[in-house]
Amino acid sequence: MNIKILATIIFSFLTLNTISQSYKFLYHLDKDLSSTSKEKAVIIGKGYESDGRLILDCFLKNTGKKILSATVKDSSLSTLHGMFKTYHDDMKLESAGFYAENDMEGVWKYWDKDGFLTDSMIYKNGIRIAYASYKYYFSKPTLEQFFFQDSLKTATYSYTYSYTDSLKNTFQEKQVSVKNGKPKTSFEVDFIGDRGLLKAYDSAGVVKTDSVFSKKMQEAEFAGGEEGWRYFLRTNLNANVPVNNNSPAGKYTVIIKFIVNKDGTLDDIKAEHNPGYGMAEEGIRVLKKSPKWAPAIQYGRYVRAYRRQPITFFIEN
């Protein structure tokens, strides 16, 4: 028993000692990773040799947190050549890719703070030739989208995937809703040049195809823009409604959800959150008075758009 314990202690010590001696180079760097004095440094770079190259790990001077790891040709740090990674504050991977003689090369990927892949790119000689992006929606339902799909109502979350290939002049995009871990495509589109084929799926999985001739995308917008919309709400809302209904002093927010139809009219106006005292009814009343909006455009076609509007009331004593 004593021998086993001693062996474990010695093994642990040797392992730690090896790790502590792995860095052979020390650098004092500014925020742009340029060499500076020890006093002015905000980043500490530590390097070690591997397979004939130098691996440089960079840490914030004030916290010691690792922010990136780069492969360079030698200790001069003049040429990036090999794997390059950056990290979020909690050490989750933020980006990863390769450099070749200071040029981005091959596949590069980017993740958000929750670990979801957001972007993926392909580079050749420092030039981006293909690009894929992912956008995730976790609200219930996905109100910020340019279009409305029944299959998204009960989804746990959804994401939009798009892929552009500059060399082939192609573009692909699809919307996927995920419920109970099972993905389900809501729509997908494939373009060659300016000609595309759109496939939309209803909640039963029935597909409807349509030819499209534009990649133009535009959100639904009030005729006067955001400032005009705020002015419309401000001049039409009756701020005394909660007071007249004996509301206690405080800050209250009602959220109204609605659909902007293809002709710009508002439809399906409902309260998503109602603090009471007539505030939701007042918000609905005002939205029903709204002039027409400029409808959303998806691939050159007018489509319905799902929106939500928070309205805040401040009640003083």
Confidence check: pLDDT of 234 > 80 = yes
**CATH number assigned to the domain comprising residue 228:** 3.30.2420
Long-range contacts: 222-225, Cβ < 8 Å, 24+?
222/290, 222/291, 222/293, 222/294, 223/291, 223/292, 223/293, 223/294
Q: How far apart are alpha carbons 150 and 131 in whole angstroms?
A: 29
Percent of the chain surpassing pLDDT 70: 87
Supply 218's token pair: 């535009």
Contact 95, 109 (CB under 8 A): yes
pLDDT at 95: 96
Asked whether residue 14 is assigned to any structural domain, the reply reads no
Phi and psi for 2 in degrees, rounded to 5? -65, -35
E-strand ranges in 213-249 read 217-218, 221-222
Asked whether residue 4 is assigned to any structural domain, the reply reads no
**Judgement on whether residues 230 and 200 belong to the same structural domain of the protein:** no
pLDDT at 138: 65
pLDDT at 188: 87
Give the three-class secondary structure for 158. strand
Confidence check: pLDDT of 91 > 60 = yes
Confidence check: pLDDT of 197 > 80 = yes
Q: How far apart are alpha carbons 280 and 248 in whole angstroms?
A: 16
pLDDT band (50, 70, 90) for residue 13: very low
Give the three-class secondary structure for 30. coil
Confidence check: pLDDT of 68 > 70 = yes
Asked whether residue 172 is assigned to any structural domain, the reply reads yes
pLDDT at 299: 83
**Judgement on whether residues 203 and 140 belong to the same structural domain of the protein:** yes
* Chosen domain end from 108, 125, 142: 125
Percent of the chain surpassing pLDDT 90: 41
Strand partners, 93: 87
pLDDT at 293: 95
Asked whether residue 93 is assigned to any structural domain, the reply reads yes
Contact 54, 74 (CB under 8 A): yes
Asked whether residue 1 is assigned to any structural domain, the reply reads no
Asked whether residue 208 is assigned to any structural domain, the reply reads yes
**Judgement on whether residues 83 and 29 belong to the same structural domain of the protein:** yes
**Judgement on whether residues 233 and 309 belong to the same structural domain of the protein:** yes
pLDDT at 180: 75
**Judgement on whether residues 239 and 293 belong to the same structural domain of the protein:** yes
Supply 261's token pair: 């139809």
216 burial class (0-12, 13-18, 19+ CB within 10 angstroms)? Answer: exposed
**Judgement on whether residues 298 and 240 belong to the same structural domain of the protein:** yes
Confidence check: pLDDT of 122 > 90 = yes
pLDDT at 176: 84
Strands 182-192 and 266-273: unpaired
Q: Which residues contact 316 (CB under 8 A, 6 or more apart)?
A: 249
Contact 220, 293 (CB under 8 A): yes
**Judgement on whether residues 147 and 101 belong to the same structural domain of the protein:** no
Supply 211's token pair: 């030819």
Confidence check: pLDDT of 203 > 70 = yes
Asked whether residue 3 is assigned to any structural domain, the reply reads no
pLDDT band (50, 70, 90) for residue 266: very high
Q: What mean pLDDT, rounded, does the chain reach?
A: 83
* Chosen domain end from 73, 98, 125: 125
Asked whether residue 98 is assigned to any structural domain, the reply reads yes
- 0.95 exceeded by the pTM? no
pLDDT at 212: 78
Query: Regarding predicted confidence, which is higher, 108 or 177?
Result: 108
pLDDT at 242: 87
For 146-169, what is each residue's pLDDT tens digit?
343 444 444 467 788 888 988 888
**Judgement on whether residues 204 and 254 belong to the same structural domain of the protein:** no
Confidence check: pLDDT of 8 > 60 = no
How many domains would you assign to the chain? 3
**Judgement on whether residues 36 and 108 belong to the same structural domain of the protein:** yes
Angle at alpha carbon of residue 67, lines to 37 and 63, rounded to 5°: 65
**Judgement on whether residues 175 and 236 belong to the same structural domain of the protein:** no
* Chosen domain end from 199, 214, 229: 214
Q: What is the mean pLDDT of residues 229-250?
A: 89
pLDDT at 177: 80
Contact 168, 122 (CB under 8 A): no
pLDDT at 109: 95
**Judgement on whether residues 277 and 249 belong to the same structural domain of the protein:** yes
Domain span at 156: 133-214
Give the three-class secondary structure for 215. coil
**Judgement on whether residues 235 and 309 belong to the same structural domain of the protein:** yes
